[in-house]
Structure 1
């Protein structure tokens, strides 16, 4: 188990599926996590078990717990590129009372440290959409830099939005957050 200042990160378990099912069918959670309501949601519990517990070998998903060991979100990585030692990060705080409280930033710092020090990645990337300013600010606190945009790459509630591409290098992160 990984431990941050306020969070813990552990592998997802079958007991987590009911909460993940609730979040996957929550319009507001999906709107901010991907801007894709309802396109990527309305999944059955069986589909969620396959997506979260039976992940393909190139995707790793974990649970984010609060101080009381309650599930508040998920975090993980995919698109591993072995020669360049890079991967793509994803995170969702699905439990809305924990939004804007620093839990996502704490989880991201804790998890990125793990990816850089234990997985020996050189670079972590991620993307969001241009109106998700809270997420962009949180990623910038971790050290991610905006590296580009994909114009009108996201379709959100009838309108096209730019995807914001962000990246973080190992040395930048360790300089900002220490080696620990």
Structure 2
């Protein structure tokens, strides 16, 4: 995807050379395929390719896509005119109201440069401002130590006492155990001060 494609997309946030663009319904396949462009990327998130199936994005709820603002969205990360990854936020209506974030970069060449941390920080700032939600969760794979460190740099803390029923409402049955199961999911929480 080139800078020319940006003309057809609405910017959600833009700061310091990074833009978050609303993902459109037609981007579902593109987002899925980005995860598998480099073995180092998918192997940091998955034990095997089959652990992330096309149906997960194909069948995602429609409100996650398009330029209508909302608490649950997929966004494309654009850096210096190139789409380099995706970040999504999902509203969870548990007792502790929260937004769950999920991010991946499509190439190793963008990792370790602070781009992911900058994206997370600017997105959280915007979501707090727009929705007043102050609790954010991420649930990476235990084997993805680089992601865990990056989330810690953004202020997320591991929670051994993480109780899924407190954070998830309607998604509890589907996501309560985490993508990697109880033993291999790192439960991390960020609570933004008032």
TM-score range, shorter chain: 0.7 to 0.9
Across the aligned residues of Structure 1 and Structure 2, the Cα RMSD in angstroms comes to 3.3
CA–CA separation in structure 1 for the residues paired with 2:64 and 2:153: 29
**What pairs up with 1:158-177 in 2 under 5 angstroms?**
162-171=184-193
C-alpha contact (below 8 Å) 2:29/2:58 kept by paired residues: no
With structure 2 as the length reference, what TM-score do the two structures score? 0.68
The one of 12, 15, 18 equivalent to 1:7 is 18
SS at match of 1:118: helix
2:85 maps to which residue? 73
Q: Does 1:61 align with 2:74?
A: yes
2:33 maps to which residue? 22
Structure 1: runs of 5 or more not aligned = 175-180
Structure 2: runs of 5 or more not aligned = 1-11, 163-176
Q: Does 1:118 align with 2:130?
A: yes
Residue 74 (structure 1) shift:
0.8
The one of 152, 155, 158 equivalent to 1:143 is 155
CA–CA separation in structure 2 for the residues paired with 1:7 and 1:25: 22
CA shift digits 1:63-102 (9 cap, x unpaired): 111022x111111111422763312111111233211111
Q: Does 1:154 align with 2:180?
A: yes
C-alpha contact (below 8 Å) 2:136/2:191 kept by paired residues: yes
C-alpha contact (below 8 Å) 2:63/2:73 kept by paired residues: no
CA shift digits 1:40-62 (9 cap, x unpaired): 14x38xx7455486648874211
Alignment size in residue pairs:
164
1:105 maps to which residue? 117
With structure 1 as the length reference, what TM-score do the two structures score? 0.73
Relative to its length, the structure with more strand (as a share) is 1
